[in-house]
Chain A
Amino acid sequence: MVDPNPLLPVSIPPYIPLPDDTLVARRRPIKVYLLIVSGLLAIALFVALIGYGGSDNVQPRGNEGGSLASSSKQPDRLRPLSRGPAAGVSEKANQQFADIGRLRSFPWNNSMLSWQRPAFHFQPEKNWMNDPNGPLFYKGWYHFFYQYNPNGAIWGDIVWGHAVSRDLIHWLHLPLAMVPDQWYDLNGVWTGSATILPDGQIVMLYTGSTNESVQVQNLAYPADPSDPLLINWVKYSGNPVLVPPPGIHPKDFRDPTTAWLTSEGKWRIVIGSKINKTGIALVYDTRDFKNYERLDGLLHGVPGTGMWECVDFYPVSRTEENGLDTSINGLEVKHVVKASLDQDKHDYYAIGTYHEKNSTWIPDNPKIDVGIGVRYDYGMFYASKTFYDPDKGRRILWGWIGESDSEFADVQKGWASIQSIPRTILLDKKTGTHLLQWPVEEVESLRLSSNEFDEVEVKAGSVMKLAVGSATQLDIIAEFEIDKKALDKAPESNATFSCSSSGGAAERGALGPFGVSVLADETLSEQTPVYFYIVKGHGGSLKTHFCSDQSRSSEATDVNKHIYGSSVPVQHGEKLSLRILVDHSIVETFAQGGRTCIASRVYPTKAIYGAARLFLFNNATDVSITASLKIWQMNSAFIRPYPNDKN
């Protein structure tokens, strides 16, 4: 029997069926498709005629060979940019069946897919990766472990992968560190953290999913501490060392933290969990990492935030510009609590005070408590974890950046997920509410040739191509100044703005958007704008937003088309500054020295290889801006297996 109802389009939750007339339209798909296309053409024509001066050359002329150092160049008028049919949100979470007639999502070919693989971000040679695990520094090497599926490009059969580096950038793959070979981790060797004891011993605590899928904590340690590569690991014969306590669900007990010393000389860890919908951090003390006592009470909890995964807890200096060992405490220090929220797949942190006596932590500002306030990153960035680097006195953050394309494409290309470039973490002394994250300085060793553009004036409504040569592996540092008089004259608006609900870089405001468009092709049919958008509120107060716009990043319809971003605090007298690392399908962006960060995955089909370009743009209506940029070509990190003969 033929199903008379075509598949109902759904959104995932809440469920909203489409009205009946849409179902009728589906029976004559070609006619409707033609109607839609001609309708859009009509709109585009209309806009082109009335909006921007019909006879102007709409191709951005850009710069064919010199720099834009001289400001005598006439900026080009902005193309009217129609956004086309709604592309909907992530293929994985939601399916809006707006494009009638397409058979297979997008005809990805090998050339497009193989371009996507980054050149200097960490990833295994193939297959699936997720959470960073147990990062540490030992005997001259940085070690990185990670959740890995040895059997495919989707999550499953999880083991611990392992790699080492001298400089956090050039990684060498080592054999798998741990596999599910015990009853207590048979269903998964999951996330864990390393603690380095004062005598140099390494202790690894990790979550195992047992043969009955109960979450327990296990102890492991290097088989041979004299091996600087720490290739082999031993699991403690008395595992598991912790099982879910009474009142905690056996599937809500995972991701033990690095331990810190208490004033009583005991080691203390926290483990994330939840009670109903309240996310919490359970506290345990131990002297030997084998026997634990659970403390009454919690380190902290926040109602409505759900399960806290990958909890992290660490001190930051209120005065110094260096990182701190996890055990440091005192008046010169604040403590950060961070949680990965299972329910929305984002990493949140808050700054507060640790009270060691009763082992609680109080946020400085409960309004921006853990899970309801600031995020490390407003794009794809999850399960992050810090560690203290004693070699250079830094606290360093790793974050898992997943894919935002379809699983079908992941399977075709044979891999999924990368890690962020490791970021140093410092308390932002100017705001006190934010951390500053910045790519580790070693990434600068990849810089090759550079192009500099000084004080380029970009008038309202203009786009200019920046001649930088190849544009798929770049380090971009830019500063923007806005014409003060125009800023003062600009109108106030009581509209609320958010990157994610805006029209992206095509939505013009008085004071924005302006910024840089990466991974763009010559005609800007594909582009990823990264920009500032300022809103002037009552009394002339300015609020600055920082956005990364995927909505036109690709002609493919089966990729994420969100506009990520957040407001970013800008102190009086600060210029607007951003940094962008472009590495094929990953665009990592940092505003105001790392106060607000956005990691975005983009999958262009045309703006790839030699066809990728870089543009500077100002799509505001009322202000011109002056931009200064320095742009480096970035070398590959040549991440590869550790050479066999040296093992």
Chain B
Amino acid sequence: MRNIISLLLLQAAFSSIFLPSAHGANTIIQPTCKKTPFYDLCVSVLQTDSRSATADVQGLAVVAADKLAGKSTATLKQITSLAKKDPRYKACLESYNIVVKYDMQEILQAVSGDPKFAEQGASDVATEADTCGKSIQSFKSVVADSNKFVHDFSLVVVAIVRLLL
């Protein structure tokens, strides 16, 4: 009886390994994300967009840029309202104004056009997010998580774009 149970358990283990993932087997997402500094983040974010399932590396770059734009804009909104009453958010407000108004425009245009400028823009986003992060690290800020996402994911965008050069 014990043998049958362990056999069944082994069988279940093997099956789960070879079952296709819930989102369908897109072979491009995983190898692309492996070349970025944040594999798990890259995979989880790209998988939330239906375009990723059939995209090539160029397509994934576009999806990644869109996701970064969405999160940066949302974070800017949050920071803007916080900054109205809390002067500790001054540096972050400055940073995210640059990110949304300038860097993201450059990235979104360049990612399907001339990718090296998207690389430049995304690197700058990382710099700005880092500046913001440092300025809020001394207290429990509600935007710390979002800012970290923007920082890390901008570096994912840089890495994906470099694959296009």
Instruction: Give residues in A with beta carbon < 8 Å to B.
Output: 1-3, 6-7, 10, 12-13, 15, 26, 91-95, 97, 102-105, 152-157, 187-188, 190, 209, 213, 251, 306-307, 342-343, 345, 406-408, 411, 558
Q: Interface 1/0s, chain B 77-97, versus A by CB < 8 A? A: 000000000000001001000
Cβ–Cβ contact B140 & A407, under 8 A: no
Cβ–Cβ contact A407 & B124, under 8 A: yes
Cβ–Cβ contact A408 & B98, under 8 A: yes
Q: A95 contacts which of B106, B110, B126, B140 (Cβ < 8 Å)? A: B126
Cβ–Cβ contact A155 & B114, under 8 A: yes
**Interface secondary structure of B, over-half rule:** helix
Cβ–Cβ contact A306 & B127, under 8 A: no
> Can you pick out 25 interface pairs between chain A and chain B where the beta carbons lie within 8 Å of each other?
A2-B144, A7-B130, A7-B134, A10-B37, A13-B35, A26-B137, A95-B123, A95-B126, A103-B134, A104-B91, A104-B131, A105-B131, A154-B103, A154-B106, A154-B121, A155-B121, A156-B110, A156-B117, A187-B113, A213-B113, A306-B165, A307-B165, A342-B115, A406-B127, A408-B128
Q: B109 contacts which of A153, A157, A306 (Cβ < 8 Å)? A: A157
Binds A, one of B1-9, B44-52, B64-72, B155-163: B155-163
CB distance from A148 to the nearest CB of B (A): 14
CB distance from B147 to the nearest CB of A (A): 8
Interface range, B side: 35 or more
Cβ–Cβ contact B116 & A1, under 8 A: no
B54 at the interface (CB under 8 A from A): no
Note all chain A residues with C-beta closer than 8 A to B120.
Answer: 92, 155, 407
Cβ–Cβ contact B105 & A154, under 8 A: yes
Nearest A residue to B116, CB-CB: A342
* Cα separation A464 to B72 with both chains bound (whole Å): 51
Cβ–Cβ contact B110 & A407, under 8 A: no
Cβ–Cβ contact A103 & B91, under 8 A: yes
Q: Interface 1/0s, chain B 18-44, versus A by CB < 8 A? A: 000000000000000001010000000
Cβ–Cβ contact A188 & B114, under 8 A: yes
Note all chain A residues with C-beta closer than 8 A to B148.
Answer: 3, 7
* Cα separation A92 to B128 with both chains bound (whole Å): 11
Cβ–Cβ contact A342 & B131, under 8 A: no
Note all chain A residues with C-beta closer than 8 A to B129.
Answer: 7
Note all chain A residues with C-beta closer than 8 A to B151.
Answer: 7
Q: A103 with B103: in contact, given A12-B123, A92-B124, A95-B126 (CB under 8 Å)?
A: no
Cβ–Cβ contact A103 & B123, under 8 A: no
CB distance from A129 to the nearest CB of B (A): 13
CB distance from B60 to the nearest CB of A (A): 14
Note all chain B residues with C-beta closer than 8 A to A209.
Answer: 113-114
